Amino acid sequence: MAIPTVFIIHVSKGDSMSEANECLFCKIIAGEIPSNTVFEDDSTIAFSDIHPKAKVHVLIVPKKHYATVAELAQRDPSELSHMVGIAKSIADKEFHGAYRLIFNTGEDAGQSVFHVHAHVLTGEVLAE
């Protein structure tokens, strides 16, 4: 199984500037690309997915660029915990606390933007 090139660059250089310059989510965070923002604080932003897979499909994204959830967990576990809390708050507001939380890690797992993000799906009963 191949490790995404972006992750290799990020780890070996220890500098996420090149990734951030080309990153879709970094551009949304910087306000260069519009989004339907549903939550924002100093460290995190959450916005509606442009191709929703459920009635409510929100992406929760840390403002600091990390390629994968594994990298985030290692470098900033408190941010990962914060993201889970945001997911719960969104679900509490949208659908009595029930939600699905998904992190895709690696291209073969469906990760298409290599800036860690959690998919929160809620708002309806979800199929198995």
Return the domain boundaries, the chain.
5-122
Secondary structure (3-state) at 112 = coil
Q: Bridge partners of 57?
A: 121
More confident residue, 103 or 6: 103
Candidates 57, 65, 115, 117; catalytic one:
117
Q: Is 119 a catalytic residue?
A: no
**Given the structure tokens 């951030």, which residue do they identify?**
20
User: Do 88 and 117 touch, CB atoms closer than 8 A?
Assistant: no
φ, ψ dihedrals at 78, nearest 5° = -65, -35
Superfamily of domain covering 5-122: HIT-like (3.30.428.10)
What's residue 126's pLDDT?
76
Q: What is the pLDDT of residues 21-57, one digit of tens each?
A: 689 999 999 999 999 999 999 999 999 999 999 999 9
Model confidence pTM above 0.85? no
Secondary structure (3-state) at 42 = coil
Q: What is the pLDDT of residues 73-119, one digit of tens each?
A: 999 999 999 999 999 999 999 888 899 999 999 999 999 999 999 99
3-state helix, strand, coil in the chain (%, to 5): 40, 20, 45
What distance in Å separates the CA atoms of residue 88 and residue 84, rounded to the nearest whole number?
A: 6
